[in-house]
Amino acid sequence: MQNQRLLASSIIGLVIIFSSMSSVFAHPHTGQVQIDSHNHQPQTKYFPIDGVIGIEKTTIMFHAPEDNSLPWGFVEGKIENPAAGYPVIIQMYKEDDAVHFAQTDVNEDGTYEYKFRVLNVDEDKTIKIFRGDYFVNIFKVVYLDQNKLI
């Protein structure tokens, strides 16, 4: 599978970095990034597929502030032990409602990113696509480390 560079999930003024080197950012390509004050720890689980590879699921939370003025969000990260040929799947939920699903390819160095709109401006009208708290599930196919299985 060709490595494509698609941008992933950055949201409005927050940075969360977790053990699998994934992060949720909010920045407009230039400008400041603020740390999320919610202080939620990522949760990572492993689901074996065939004894060699498995799915690594990481759940993080992000907060889109009411006063956000940034147009783009993205999810980016680096997978330490990616299984070749499998995309990263990103799912975003507000409470129990699915609000955004995406997939992006993994580059040869294990990095990935996915970019999406969080705010639209049409003439004088501003439309906030995301606001409040969201759960983000990030699924990656990895070579299994038998010590991390649950």
Q: Find the domain containing 124 and state its range.
A: 15-148
Instruction: State the pLDDT confidence band at 67, using cuts at 50, 70 and 90.
Output: confident
CA-wise closest residue to 60 among 23, 33, 25, 94: 23
Q: Report residue 38 as tokens.
A: 């919610």
Per-residue confidence (pLDDT) for residue 149, from 0 to 100: 54
Per-residue pLDDT tens digits for 33-55: 333 444 568 899 999 999 899 99
What's the mean pLDDT in 134-139?
95
CB 58, CB 42: distance < 8 Å: yes
pLDDT over threshold 70, residue 120:
yes
Per-residue confidence (pLDDT) for residue 20, from 0 to 100: 32
Which residues does residue 125 pair with via DSSP β-bridges, in sequence order? 122
What is the overall mean pLDDT for the chain?
A: 75
Per-residue pLDDT tens digits for 13-34: 222 222 233 444 443 332 233 3
Taking the CA of residue 43 as centre, how many other CA atoms within 13 Å lie in the half-sphere pointing to its CB?
7
Domain of 39: which CATH number?
2.60.40
CB 88, CB 74: distance < 8 Å: no
Rg over CA atoms, the chain = 16
Q: Report residue 134 as tokens.
A: 């969201």
> Looking at the 3D structure of the chain, how many domains does it have?
1
Would 9 be classed as within a structural domain?
A: no
Would 101 be classed as within a structural domain?
A: yes
Range in 7-16, 27-36, 106-115 the model is least confident about? 7-16
Would 88 be classed as within a structural domain?
A: yes
What's the mean pLDDT in 64-73?
85
